[in-house]
Structure 1
Amino acid sequence: MRKWFDSEAKKNSQRPWRLEADVWLNLTGELLFGDRGQRGKAHLFWPNFRKDWPDPRAYLRDDHRAGHLRTIGMSKIAPTLDAFAKYLAANNAPSVRELISIGINEKTARRAMALSEKSHDRPNDSALIRVASRVFERVAGQKSNIENQIATALLVGKDEDAVLYAAAIELGETICTASAPACMLCPIELNCSHLRKG
């Protein structure tokens, strides 16, 4: 899965900010392009945002940031992004609770922290649970929270740099989809109980 992620998924990711092991880049991308309606803009604008705002201090130094956000129709998130940048510039390692306190919703905050290599608290994303359920032949809808945690832990193992976590989510969102999984394209098809079972 890691090999597929490095060679294929990173080139074609619909959410390139999730490939960054940095909470600033993860959360900025999630705030800007995380909504389904905004994802189409990600490939156009993300490379420039990443280059121009690689860290919160660069973002705060940019006197034209409000205009840039307005250009892509994202001016309403400017206050949240400003608050996050100011907070992160002053405090290197935010907690989920602190991100929520500055106006970031809990799910977005948890995902951004989980994709950061500094975090070891990785919540079970629905795409990750789907991949783990299929690999370990568990029937959808008959899962307890403990079973989800065990299956995802078995799937990603000890994942210090969050690469397997990000890879499993990307796999679940692009290949191992809920309605039309592309099993023949899956990098772990040989290990998938769901595919073997038919």
Structure 2
Amino acid sequence: MQSTLATTDARASGSGADDLARVLNDWFRREARDLPWRRPGFGAWGILVSEVMLQQTPVVRVIPRLAEWLDRWPTPSDLADAPPSEAIRAWAGLGYPRRALRLHACAVAIAERHGGEVPSDIEELLALPGIGDYTARAVAAFAYGKRHPVVDTNVRRFLARCVDGLGEPGPPAVRRDLASMESVLPVDDAEARVFNAAAMELGAVICTARAPRCGLCPVASECAWLGAGKPAYLGARRAVQKRYEGSDRQARGILLATLRKAVAPVPADELETLWPHREQRARALAGLVSDGLAVAGDDGYRLPD
């Protein structure tokens, strides 16, 4: 790790990082997509909810659902007062429904520990249920304007190419990734906030994984990968996700969709008709119960109260 930190110090000591930040921030101010969570006055609770929704769901699907969510539960206390089952129902179509339970538990903790106000301190954010390092830093930076490096998949790709000269990032490593972002993060709090968002935007719309649009990149002249002739990436690659059709995930989704619609417990024999493979169905139901997304009783299965 000592060599990584030495590299970080070397990068930060020159004017290259300042130039990179200035050019990228100028581009972002001109070209950034108009997204709800970037608008003035969008509160910390809305930003926290948006970050949780965006973790594994495309932006176009999140925007309308985020508006629905915040209309229904405009504060953490509003969500905390609702049963977990309502959060699970409201999450339909967003995928990975455990996020709904974590967000509900997070709202309860904010209401109980922080008087209903989303905290701004990273350690206090990390102490909330379901809030990891990325989300804590994103809330602190984007909601409260604090200077913290914020690193998601798009930022990691930008750093790998522009800073490290690699075609794609290697496996995530929090300390290394944060140090790399810190090395190019502006000192000024306001500019650092913009730069975090700008790096994400660049990775999302220009420096994409499969077809980077280098001809449109505002920092092409600073890109180590482009300058080296776009060498092929030879490092470790992330595992490809298994297909959804016929998977345990699909079985869980179909069973949970039925529980969402039900107003009373669903008998086990009724669930048997929804997924024909007995062992897979049993795994899916056991997983839903284990994850807290369903409750098993003598009269069948239901969402948690």
- Asked if these proteins are the same fold (TM beyond 0.5), I'd say yes
Instruction: Say if 1:85 and 1:38 are closer, same or farther in 2 by CA, change over 3 A.
Output: farther
Taking structure 1 as reference, are residues 173 and 79 closer, same or farther at Cα in structure 2, changes over 3 Å only?
A: same
1:1-198 mapped onto 2 (5 Å cutoff) = 1-11=24-34, 16-17=36-37, 22-31=43-52, 33-37=53-57, 39-47=59-67, 49=69, 56=76, 59=78, 70-73=89-92, 76-77=101-102, 79-86=104-111, 87-90=113-116, 93-107=119-133, 108-139=135-166, 141=170, 148=177, 151-161=180-190, 162-198=193-229
For the aligned residue pairs, the C-alpha RMSD in angstroms reads 4.1
Cα-to-partner distance string for 1:39-95 (whole Å, 9 max, x where unaligned): 4422223345556766546x46998xx858734426645622532551444556343
- Which residues of structure 2 form unaligned runs of 5+? 1-23, 230-305
Identical pairs, percent = 25
Shift of 1:123: 4.4
The CA deviation at 1:166 is: 1.3
Distance in 1 between residues matched to 2:81 and 2:197, nearest whole Å: 30
TM-aligned CA deviation for residue 103 of structure 1: 0.9
Return the alpha-carbon distance in structure 1 between the equivalents of residues 224 and 39 of structure 2.
Answer: 27
- Alignment size in residue pairs: 193
Which residue identity does 1:98 align to in structure 2? Answer: E
CA contact (8 A) 1:117 1:160 kept: no
Deviation at 1:167, TM superposition (A): 1.1
Paired letter, 1:4 = W
Distance in 1 of aligned mates of 2:175 and 2:55: 29
Distance change (3 Å), C-alpha of 1:188 and 1:22: farther
- What amino acid sits opposite 1:70 in the alignment? R
Flag structure 1 segments of 5+ consecutive residues without an equivalent.
Answer: none
Greater share of helix? 1
Distance 1:124 1:93, change over 3 A: same
TM-score, normalization by structure 2: 0.48
The separation in 2 between residues aligned to 1:164 and 1:115, in whole angstroms, is 11
1:135-156 deviation line (CA, Å, top 9, x unaligned): 2343455999887556423433
Distance 1:156 1:54, change over 3 A: farther
Bigger RCO (CA 8 Å, 6+ sep)? 1
Segment of structure 1 superposing worse, 98-107 or 181-190 = 98-107
For residues 173 and 61 of structure 2, the distance between their equivalents in structure 1, rounded to whole angstroms, comes to: 37
